[in-house]
A and B are shown apart, each in its own frame.
Chain A
Amino acid sequence: MATEAARRSRPSALLALGQVRYQLTLLLRSPLGFFLSIVFPLLLLVCLNVVTPGRPVNGLPYAQWLTPAMCAFCLLNACYVTAITSMVLAREEGTLKRLRGTPLPAWAYLAGRAGSAFVTSVIASSVIIATGVLLFRVHIVWHAVGYFTAAAFLGIACFFLLGAAVTTVVPKSETALPIAFGTMLPLAFISDVFFFVRNPPAWLHDLASAFPVAPIARAMEDSFNPATRSWPMPASGLLAVLGWSAIAIVVIALAFRWEPGPAPAARGLGRSPRSLARWHHGS
């Protein structure tokens, strides 16, 4: 029988690193995750360049604008969409419940997920930028690389947190992808990710600016503009990013679920005979 001393837990940081490796292994073996994070944005980069050749944006070659925009799209897929689909799947298949029964701390699991989203984002963005440079003569604006990196880092953190928060309202695996894309794509469309919105109506601009996608995407795009000399994200944009991240953290802390099935709130309010019957049966 083990003594208390011998049962001292392993360092949480090590566990979190192990989780990053585990999540990356899973991602590499899941064609959907790989496709969404790397292949899809790369395809868009190539295709959009082919169908809209020579159309300048903000006085810059189209590819010079599109390449960082596709990097922002990478972040949305690798962090937001993948967080929702993979964590809901893990929850509904009972993986989260199983992990919850082990000494792995909750935060180490989430840190592992976030770390894997970070690594995927870095790899995917690097592939996008390398493709832009090699095929479409995109120039890296070296004096703004720091701005690009900072904006991307904010994006990774914010999109991952939002994705983890959204899992709390996704009832089952089948609805994860529709909810992820259904919320992400409209925002991406009005936030200068797929195409540059010239002179948008004020309300549309304000609407986009109230969400974190537009500030992140625009800051990343501006970081590929040689004319950019200072931090390209307005204070209001930074506030939107940090505000949404804070809301997401609160939602995760209060409502993140490890057990399969509908949210406790829905169960508690609904108390339908069907769900009760299932509980009773399951007991």
Chain B
Amino acid sequence: MWDKSTGQVPAIVVEGLRKQYGKVRAVDGVSFQVWRGEIYALLGPNGAGKTSTVEILEGHRRRSGGSVRVLGFDPGAGDRHFRERVGIVLQSGGMDAELTVWEMVSLFAGFYARPRSVAQTIEQVGLADKGRVRVRTLSGGQARRLDLALALIGAPEVLFLDEPTTGFDPNARREAWDMIAGLRSSGTTVLLTSHYLDEVQRLADRVGVMSHGHLVEESTPDSLGGRDVSGTVISFRLPARLRGSELPAGPWDQPQDPAGEFSMHTDEPTRVLLALTQWAAAHDVELPGLTVTRPSLEDVYLRITGQTSVGAGDGH
């Protein structure tokens, strides 16, 4: 379990994972690896199989088939030493309303052989001024921060975050992102699920897109669906004294009106831009409104999951 080419060691190895509920295949042959210290996101719509996958990795659910290793352990075996080394953030709930934040975090600290400091952990999740407050009085965002504190208190090597910012307001989301990004520096491996594209783009080193129980694509957020190179749009306006027919690296889409934009979809944006800008420089003109636009993550995501939802009917 070691990649010779990169020297990396995987924290999580999933091979051919299957989970079936009755006749429904929630997870159908999913394989991926998460390297130590990496933030890996499972992205997909509701019902894609993300939570089933993560709950199997957490040891909360039994798999129907395939193999799973987290830090070398089979999570399904329920080994206590396994649970010493992982932290789990649940989608919701699971906190005693009548305990204070400090009591709750201290209680969980007591479960672990080598917990982090209670005070530091509460401070890290931004609840320093809420230590003496009962859990029931916390706002939704504050409760999720406590949730994160409970997952972090055991100094986990692998942290599972199931939709960590669902229901957050934009401010709380940004704060949560900063906290999760901060874990990267501590070397914690993070597996998170999300259906927010911006969250994945902001946090993840790599992303696996799930749809209908399949892992349909795996890449870095920036190159998802090949969007780092393919389908780039270059557009600009042409000064009146120049003619569109002289443009290099064509064909360019002509504007409807004389003041409109020329544009091109290209898989070779570098080559086209070089030719275009050299041509403009040779004519000593500035190209007004010159923009290079990559397809949005959302465009790519909808294309990937949309295509697959058609293919899934074929039972692949």
- Contact residues of A with B, CB < 8 Å? 1-2, 4, 6-10, 15, 18, 22, 25-26, 29-30, 93-95, 97-98, 100-105, 259-260, 271, 276, 279-283
Contacts and interface: CB of A to CB of B under 8 A. Distances in A.
A53 to B, nearest CB: 40
6 contacts: A26-B99, A101-B88, A259-B60, A271-B22, A283-B19, A283-B47
A10 B113 CA distance: 5
Contacts of B96: 26, 95
Given A102-B111, A103-B112, A280 B94 contact: no
B154 A283 contact: no
B228 interface: no
A166 to B, nearest CB: 22
Contacts of B49: 283
Interface of B is mostly: loop
A98 B95 contact: yes
B29 interface: no
B267 interface: no
Nearest to B107: A22
B21 interface: yes
Contacts of B19: 283
B172 to A, nearest CB: 20
Interface in B3-23: 19, 21-22
Given A26-B99, A102-B154, A279-B21, A7 B81 contact: yes
B192 interface: no
A93 B83 contact: no
B178 interface: no
Given A2-B157, A101-B60, A283 B50 contact: yes
B90 A102 contact: no
Contact of A283 (B26, B93, B107, B112): B26
B60 A100 contact: yes
A276 to B, nearest CB: 6
Contact of B51 (A1, A22, A283): A283
A30 B96 CA distance: 11
Contacts of B103: 25
Contacts of A101: 58-60, 83, 86, 88, 90
A94 B135 CA distance: 14
Given A18-B107, A102-B154, A281-B47, 19 more contacts: A2-B114, A7-B113, A18-B110, A29-B99, A94-B93, A97-B60, A97-B90, A98-B90, A103-B112, A103-B113, A104-B111, A271-B22, A276-B24, A279-B21, A280-B21, A280-B24, A281-B46, A283-B21, A283-B27
Contacts of B93: 93-95, 98, 260
Nearest to B115: A10
B80 A103 contact: yes
A26 B157 contact: no
Nearest to B58: A101
